[in-house]
Amino acid sequence: MTTLTVTLKNEHALRLLEELEQLEVLSINATSEAQPSSTGPCSPEERTFNAFSFPTNGWKFNRDEANER
């Protein structure tokens, strides 16, 4: 017996494997791995927020000019 890890790219591949399982050619033990990504949810211990700030001294805001745009 050989154990393989397979990444399914679409539902057709899953249906094909399920058909093979029905023929008792293989057995499926489904597991889901979380892919590491910077946009995914993280645990509360891993969450950090670093504020971004920059000096605005000397900047002028002309409301009339902004409204023209």
Taking only the tens of pLDDT, the chain with its 69 residues reads 788 888 888 888 888 888 888 998 888 887 766 555 555 666 777 777 778 777 888 888 888 888 887
Residue 43 phi, psi (nearest 5): -70, 160
Separation between Cα atoms, residue 14 and residue 7, nearest integer Å: 10
Token pair, residue 28, equals: 């499926």
If one counts every other C-beta atom within 10 angstroms of the C-beta of residue 20, the result is 13
Closest CA to 28 of 47, 3, 64, 62: 3
